[in-house]
């Protein structure tokens, strides 16, 4: 096993990467090796799919499979080795299908990569014996750390793109250019590129593709559930039977709300599902009772305490405790050995569990937080914002975006929010906000100082807000009094980072630690060429941001 795809990867004695029997996330060696093999096969499958796209005859099923399969390999998504054995076999079948289609079309199958020819073993032991070929560091001695690091950046960014594209796809946003772009990136990776310039160009192209994907996801979410509006969300329980829905997938939440209508069961959101309350068509369900708990890393405590079943719809799952093992269900790409998986949107078992469990005995005193400041809501108040900036009431915007995590260094983001001066606006995105979103930040005129834009999935909305402000002030986004403060954790953040780089956005602080797969030379490129700055201390970084703006 070797894995260094997330921020919390083991860093000990100067060595970065999880390389023992079990990774920091809980992924064991068997699963990690199988994930590597699956990725290897997806490169081959993507290569063939890319050829079909170039011919104008793509295979929709294979393209959807690629998104789903890539999504299963993100951090804290799927830990179930039996799932990966099946996906590896399915990838081979689909790859053979695409070969057949190309052959039938008369396309000469020359120049294919080794990945496109790979024959996976039929059983687990055989697969594990093949895993070395697929390691993310394969070829290190030939090409060196920088190339391996850039390939990893491209691959991890691609995983994030695929995850976002999958979320959009399940809500009906299926765009040929997205599938073609993802297949192209896999095609590139299949051939083990060693040209630094080409890899950087491909990474930026992927960042550009991700902007399209995030726009599609925004269209999928708002098209399905309406434009988010500022909404107060109850954060204390009400008496009654209860189901907790975690992860990012709004479609799953919607289907659970539909399936539980009239049952008397209340639905609570957890973690990244919080912004769902801002969508009018989800908020309209009276039994969407509130939000429970905080960011993903607290789930072992929160799920233990929750008196009903839990549905995990996407990342971020961590090892379930015995206390809730039988009542946590996985959906979509998520999996853990021995946990029940929802299939075909059948929530009967979840409902049965909710009815069998005690639920909340009492209604707690009401507490609430405000969500729903996505692009339409913020731009609806654009004149107020512009006037406040012009009048000097708003000096600066800090977009604090990204994931939370357990590492103590993440206190930086709490400190940042708490120390930002009263004449600054905090825009939040992702689950990092749980560290401070219950703090009191006050208002600037009619405008709350903390505006929650949404999930990490809603980056497009934040980019639109920045672009609209730049337009209003007749300047470039980089000239706005705006600083991006990014806390990255997994591969979706890698995709977003590539998008920000592709857009040429500077004034970006990245933390809490920098990606372990980027070598000092590559980090230097990020700093020198793209203006990415590692975080220092909250006070110093706030002062530097305000000094730049002044």
- Per CB under 8 A, which region of 80-88, 244-252, 477-485, 535-543 contacts other proteins? 80-88
Chosen residue from 26, 97, 193, 448 binding other proteins by CB under 8 A: 26
- Per CB under 8 A, which region of 49-57, 81-89, 147-155, 363-371 contacts other proteins? 81-89
Q: Residue 130 interacts with other proteins (CB under 8 A)? A: no
What pairing do the DSSP bridges indicate for beta strands 424-429 and 396-402? parallel
Query: Residues for the chain: how many in total?
Result: 550
Q: How far is the CB of 351 from other proteins (least distance, A)?
A: 9
> What are 431's two structure tokens?
């689950």
Q: Residue 358 interacts with other proteins (CB under 8 A)? A: yes
Q: How far is the CB of 493 from other proteins (least distance, A)?
A: 17
Chosen residue from 223, 264, 409, 504 binding other proteins by CB under 8 A: 409
Q: How far is the CB of 78 from other proteins (least distance, A)?
A: 13
Q: Which helix (H) or strand (E) holds 386?
A: helix 382-390
Kindly give, in sequence order, each residue whose CB lies less than 8 Å from that of residue 257, ignoring residues fewer than 6 positions away. Answer: 267, 282, 285, 287, 288
- Per CB under 8 A, which region of 166-174, 275-283, 293-301, 531-539 contacts other proteins? 293-301
Q: Residue 384 interacts with other proteins (CB under 8 A)? A: no
Q: Residue 239 interacts with other proteins (CB under 8 A)? A: no
How far is Cα 532 from Cα 493, in angstroms, rounded to an integer? 14
Q: Residue 356 interacts with other proteins (CB under 8 A)? A: yes
- Per CB under 8 A, which region of 24-32, 50-58, 150-158, 263-271 contacts other proteins? 24-32
Runs of H (alpha helix) within 56-192: 60-72, 81-104, 114-117, 124-130, 140-170, 176-190
- Total binding residues for other proteins by CB under 8 A? 54
How far CA 118 is from CA of 29, 55, 409, in Å, comes to: 21, 23, 42
> What are 11's two structure tokens?
């860093």
- Decide whether 103 or 305 has the Cβ nearer to other proteins: 305
**Helix/strand/coil for 236:** coil
- Decide whether 461 or 487 has the Cβ nearer to other proteins: 487
- Decide whether 113 or 291 has the Cβ nearer to other proteins: 291
Q: How far is the CB of 416 from other proteins (least distance, A)?
A: 16
Q: Residue 14 interacts with other proteins (CB under 8 A)? A: no
Q: Residue 359 interacts with other proteins (CB under 8 A)? A: yes
Q: Residue 263 interacts with other proteins (CB under 8 A)? A: no
How far is Cα 397 from Cα 96, in angstroms, rounded to an integer? 52
- Per CB under 8 A, which region of 87-95, 112-120, 134-142, 348-356 contacts other proteins? 348-356
- Decide whether 354 or 465 has the Cβ nearer to other proteins: 354
Are 541 and 517 contacting, i.e. CB atoms less than 8 angstroms apart?
Answer: no
Question: 40-66 as b/e, with b when 16 or more CB fall inside 10 Å?
Answer: bbbbbbbbbbbbbbeeeebbeebbbbb
Q: Residue 531 interacts with other proteins (CB under 8 A)? A: no
- Per CB under 8 A, which region of 403-411, 469-477, 491-499, 536-544 contacts other proteins? 403-411
Q: Residue 312 interacts with other proteins (CB under 8 A)? A: no
Nearest CA to 174 among 334, 313, 59? 59
Q: Residue 435 interacts with other proteins (CB under 8 A)? A: no
DSSP per residue over 441-499, as a string?
--EETTEESEEEEE-GGGHHHHHHHHHHHHHHTTS-GGGSSEEEEEE--SHHHHHHHHH
- The secondary structure of 130-154, three-state, reads HHHHHCCCCCHHHHHHHHHHHHHHH
- Decide whether 60 or 82 has the Cβ nearer to other proteins: 82
Q: Residue 407 interacts with other proteins (CB under 8 A)? A: yes
Q: Residue 524 interacts with other proteins (CB under 8 A)? A: no
Q: Residue 414 interacts with other proteins (CB under 8 A)? A: no
Q: Residue 550 interacts with other proteins (CB under 8 A)? A: no
How far is Cα 41 from Cα 91, in angstroms, rounded to an integer? 6
- Decide whether 22 or 419 has the Cβ nearer to other proteins: 22
Q: Residue 297 interacts with other proteins (CB under 8 A)? A: yes
Nearest CA to 483 among 438, 421, 435? 421
Q: Residue 12 interacts with other proteins (CB under 8 A)? A: yes
Q: Residue 352 interacts with other proteins (CB under 8 A)? A: yes
How far is Cα 274 from Cα 270, in angstroms, rounded to an integer? 6
**Helix/strand/coil for 362:** coil
In the complex, the residues that contact other proteins under the rule CB under 8 A are 8-12, 18, 20, 22-26, 28, 30-31, 79, 81-82, 85, 124-125, 128, 297-298, 300-301, 304-305, 318-319, 321-323, 325-327, 337-338, 349, 352-353, 355-359, 361, 405-409, 411, 513
């Amino acid at each position: 096993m070797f894995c260094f795809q997330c921020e919390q990867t083991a860093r000990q004695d100067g060595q970065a990467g999880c390389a023992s029997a079990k990774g920091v996330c809980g992924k064991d060696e068997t699963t990690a090796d199988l994930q590597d093999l699956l990725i290897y096969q997806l490169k081959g499958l993507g290569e063939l799919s890319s050829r079909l796209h170039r011919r104008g005859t793509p295979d929709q099923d294979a393209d959807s499979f690629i998104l789903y399969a890539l999504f299963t390999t993100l951090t804290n998504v799927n830990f179930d080795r039996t799932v990966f054995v099946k996906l590896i076999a399915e990838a081979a079948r689909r790859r053979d299908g695409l070969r057949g289609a190309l052959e039938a079309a008369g396309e000469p199958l020359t120049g294919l990569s080794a990945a496109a020819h790979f024959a996976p073993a039929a059983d687990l032991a055989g697969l594990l014996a093949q895993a070395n070929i697929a390691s993310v560091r394969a070829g290190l001695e030939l090409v060196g750390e920088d190339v391996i690091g850039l390939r990893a950046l491209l691959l991890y960014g691609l995983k994030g793109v695929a995850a976002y594209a999958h979320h959009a796809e399940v809500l009906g946003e299926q765009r040929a250019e997205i599938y073609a772009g993802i297949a192209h990136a896999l095609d590139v990776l299949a051939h083990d590129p060693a040209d630094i310039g080409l890899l950087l160009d491909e990474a930026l192209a992927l960042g550009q593709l991700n902007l399209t994907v995030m726009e599609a996801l925004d269209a999928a979410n708002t098209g399905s559930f309406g434009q988010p509006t500022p909404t107060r969300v109850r954060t204390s329980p009400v008496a009654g039977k209860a189901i907790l829905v975690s992860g990012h997938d709004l479609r799953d939440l919607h289907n659970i709300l539909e399936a539980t209508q009239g049952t008397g069961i209340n639905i609570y959101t957890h973690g990244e599902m919080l912004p769902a309350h801002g969508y009018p068509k989800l908020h309209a369900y009276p039994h969407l009772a509130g939000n429970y708990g905080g960011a993903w890393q607290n789930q072992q405590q929160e799920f233990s305490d929750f008196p009903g079943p839990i549905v995990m719809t996407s990342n971020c799952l961590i090892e379930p405790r015995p206390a809730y093992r039988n009542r946590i269900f996985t959906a979509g790409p998520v999996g853990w050995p021995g946990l029940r998986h929802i299939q075909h949107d059948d929530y009967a078992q979840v409902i049965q569990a909710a009815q069998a469990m005690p639920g909340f005995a009492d209604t707690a005193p009401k507490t609430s937080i405000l969500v729903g400041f996505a692009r339409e809501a913020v731009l609806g108040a654009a004149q107020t914002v512009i006037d406040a900036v012009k009048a000097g009431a708003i000096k600066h915007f800090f977009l604090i975006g990204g994931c939370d995590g357990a590492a103590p260094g993440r206190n930086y983001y709490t400190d940042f929010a708490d120390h930002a001066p009263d004449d600054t606006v905090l825009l939040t995105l992702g689950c990092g906000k749980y560290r401070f979103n219950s703090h009191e930040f006050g208002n600037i005129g009619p405008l709350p100082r903390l505006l929650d834009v949404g999930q990490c999935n809603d980056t497009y909305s934040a980019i639109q807000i920045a672009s609209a402000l730049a337009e209003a002030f007749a300047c470039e986004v980089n000239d706005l009094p705006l600083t991006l403060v990014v806390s990255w954790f997994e591969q979706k953040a890698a995709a977003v980072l590539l998008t920000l780089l592709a857009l040429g956005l500077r004034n970006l602080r990245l933390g809490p630690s920098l990606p372990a797969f980027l070598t000092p030379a590559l980090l230097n490129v990020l700093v020198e060429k793209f203006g990415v700055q590692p975080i220092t201390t909250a006070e110093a970084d706030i002062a530097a941001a305000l000094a730049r703006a002044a």
